[in-house]
């Protein structure tokens, strides 16, 4: 379900502002499955963005749409500090 009070353009701008920053992501995969990891926003495209996941000494790239963030399936928080 869509969160109220925010537009798709505002989501895109927030993602652009976080590019290259260390972030924490919480992803709702459905059926009570959640994934949590630290990542860095790598590339930004018109419909999607890619992140490099830092997990267990292995870099993995995943792709998400801005609509995933708008709906609340993907939550992104900037990590403070180092």
What average pLDDT does range 42-51 have in this prediction? 94
Rg (CA), the chain: 12
Number of domains in the chain: 1
Condensed to tens digits (0 to 9), the pLDDT of residues 10-36 reads 999 999 999 999 999 999 988 889 989
Structural domain contains residue 1: no
- Rounded CA-CA distance 72/31 in Å is 15
- What pLDDT is recorded for position 30? 87
Structural domain contains residue 3: no
Task: Name beta bridge partners: 79.
Answer: none
Tokens representing 15 are 């993602």
What average pLDDT does range 52-74 have in this prediction? 86
pLDDT band at 80 (very low <50, low <70, confident <90, very high): confident
CATH of the domain at 34: 2.30.30.100
Is residue 57 pLDDT above 70, yes or no? no
Domain range for 54 is 8-78
66: left (phi over 0), alpha (psi -120 to 50) or beta: alpha
List, in sequence order, every beta strand (DSSP E) within 1-82: 22-30, 33-44, 48-55, 58-65, 74-78
Q: Which of 9, 61, 56, 68 is nearest to 40 (CA)?
A: 61
Is residue 58 pLDDT above 70, yes or no? no
**pTM for the model:** 0.83
């Amino acid at each position: 379900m869509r969160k109220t009070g925010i537009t798709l353009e505002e989501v895109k701008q927030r993602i652009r502002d976080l590019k290259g920053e260390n972030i924490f992501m919480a992803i709702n995969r459905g059926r009570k499955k959640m994934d949590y990891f630290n990542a860095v926003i790598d590339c930004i495209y018109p419909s999607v963005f890619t992140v490099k996941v830092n997990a267990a000494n292995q870099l993995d790239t995943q792709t998400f749409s801005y609509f995933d963030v708008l709906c609340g399936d993907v939550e992104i928080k900037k990590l403070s500090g180092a």
